[in-house]
Chain A
Amino acid sequence: MALVDNGGFYPETDTQQDVAGFMCDAMRTLGTVAVGVSEKELRWGVSALKAQVARSRIPLVCANLVDRSTRRPVFKPYVVEKIGRAKVGFFGLMSDKVDLGPSRDSLKVDEPAVVAQRLVDEMRKKGATVVVLLSQLGKVESEDLAAAVPGIDAVICGHNVPLIQKGRMVKNTVTSYGGEQGQYISRTLLTLDARGRVATGENESFMLGPEVGEKPEIVKLVKDFEDAFNEKLRKTEKERAAAAVTENSQATNHFLGADLCIRCHADQGEQWKTTSHSVAWQTLVDAKKDATPECIGCHVVGFRQPGGYQTGADAPRLVNVQCENCHGMGTRHEEYASSLRISPATCIQCHQGENDPEFNWDKKLPMIVHGNLSGETIAKKKSKGSSSMIKSTGSH
């Protein structure tokens, strides 16, 4: 069995830079045998990536990312590992159509197919009986390359590739489409002949749901990191918020908080308290994400906006999804009363993408609409349990 990561594992926001190091450490701990590279890993420069690779000793491979001055690959082009009876060559390829960010002047990406053919031959000469490509070329280009370059037994397809549960054969190459953001794991099963070469191949991707077990040492690794990182973010947010308070104090229009709304709209306020919107903040606290800017916005009122949530000091008044999240800023009450209507657009500001991939407005709106006092959304949350970070399944 071999465990690989196809690349694209770096976070997408600058505030999450510490996560980059953590991901490297985690892969090292897991014994990942090969790690691909995308332009995401270059977002803080190639020197920063090299430093992480050297520190964590992860086996990063990329065959076609080269230094413009030396024309040599920046990282190892491939690794060959003995796994069971097979000698497996893993190599990585990036797309030559991506922006290399701060490294664009010093690095370039060679044409993938040309490099692939050369590398396959080289690995075979070195005794590789199985060749696996970690591809950051996207779906179509990965498949085209598999069709054009003989000798690749399996391609792990990455770079905005949609999940396709069953991989397929492209000529003699089995392809994998494992989705993104760590929600799935893809399993490529290769049957070997007597010489350790691939006879048949198949692939399937599996969703990593709560039914999948956890390894205690990895759970601890994650928890220790997230505890420390959340604390660090909390301090940063506090400093930023202090500056924002002065700036926002001059704003005419601002958020007010539910307590003020409920003075006149008591019935609606009581009904709101029966919905999971009214306890949305606690799910962040439980998940130790209450200082993560990318998460906070959908769990408070008016994040970083005038009068809105700036820091933990605002928590008593402005946490949870309150009246103004749907109905607009309180100081514009008169204007909105006649013009603002709740629509799907209101909800999908938060209930979209990875937050809520199957959100259905027609089905969900009745569950929280004023008048529904069933408390069904909170009951649902409780039945799933949200106290543990790992088992946390509630949201908003």
Chain B
Amino acid sequence: MKDLASRFRAAAVLAILALLALAGANALSDSIQQPDKLVILSTTDAKGKTSPCG
């Protein structure tokens, strides 16, 4: 299909994958460096999507 659509599909390749990446990188380091901040990362209504059809 098209670029943006494809990116959406790729994005659906498990929120979890990126969750961990984001959690492990930016947000965690932010919270360590800024103790007066609390970061909450959230996903919702994942509907069992582990990856796009293709």
Contacts and interface: CB of A to CB of B under 8 A. Distances in A.
Contacts of A108: none
A152 to B, nearest CB: 13
Interface string B1-30: 111111111111111111111111101101
A85 B35 CA distance: 7
B44 A8 contact: yes
Interface stretch (A99-107, A301-309, A387-395): A387-395
B5 A395 contact: yes
B54 A386 contact: yes
Contact of A351 (B1, B8, B42): B1
A183 interface: yes
Contacts of B37: 189-192
Contacts, number: 276
Contact of A186 (B6, B12, B36, B42): B42
Contacts of B28: 1
A208 B51 CA distance: 12
A215 B24 contact: yes
Interface residues of A, number: 101
A193 B36 CA distance: 7
Contacts of A12: 47-48
Given A1-B31, A192-B36, A393 B6 contact: yes
A185 B38 contact: no
Given A84-B35, A356-B1, A395-B54, A5 B44 contact: yes
B18 A2 contact: no
Interface in A118-151: 130, 132, 134
A183 to B, nearest CB: 4
Contact of B50 (A19, A210, A356, A395): A19
A255 interface: no
A219 interface: yes
B7 A180 contact: no
Given A10-B47, A12-B48, A156 B42 contact: yes
Contact of A359 (B5, B20, B45, B46): B5
Nearest to B5: A356
A27 B11 CA distance: 17
A147 to B, nearest CB: 20
Given A1-B28, A222-B14, A286-B54, A180 B40 contact: no
B22 to A, nearest CB: 6
B2 to A, nearest CB: 7
A61 B3 CA distance: 38
Contacts of A161: 44-45
A358 B47 contact: no
Top 3 nearest A-B pairs (CB, nearest first) are A11-B48, A182-B15, A283-B54
30 contacts: A1-B38, A3-B42, A5-B43, A8-B46, A19-B48, A23-B50, A85-B35, A161-B45, A180-B45, A181-B12, A181-B45, A182-B46, A184-B11, A186-B41, A186-B42, A187-B39, A188-B41, A192-B38, A215-B17, A287-B53, A288-B51, A289-B52, A298-B53, A354-B8, A355-B53, A357-B4, A389-B51, A392-B9, A395-B52, A395-B54
Given A181-B46, A354-B8, 5 more contacts: A180-B44, A182-B46, A212-B17, A222-B14, A359-B5
Interface of A: 1-12, 16, 19-20, 22-23, 26-27, 30, 36, 38, 40, 83-86, 88, 130, 132, 134, 154, 156-161, 176, 178-193, 198, 206-210, 212-215, 218-219, 222, 225-226, 283-289, 292, 294-295, 298-299, 351, 354-359, 364, 380, 384, 386, 389-396
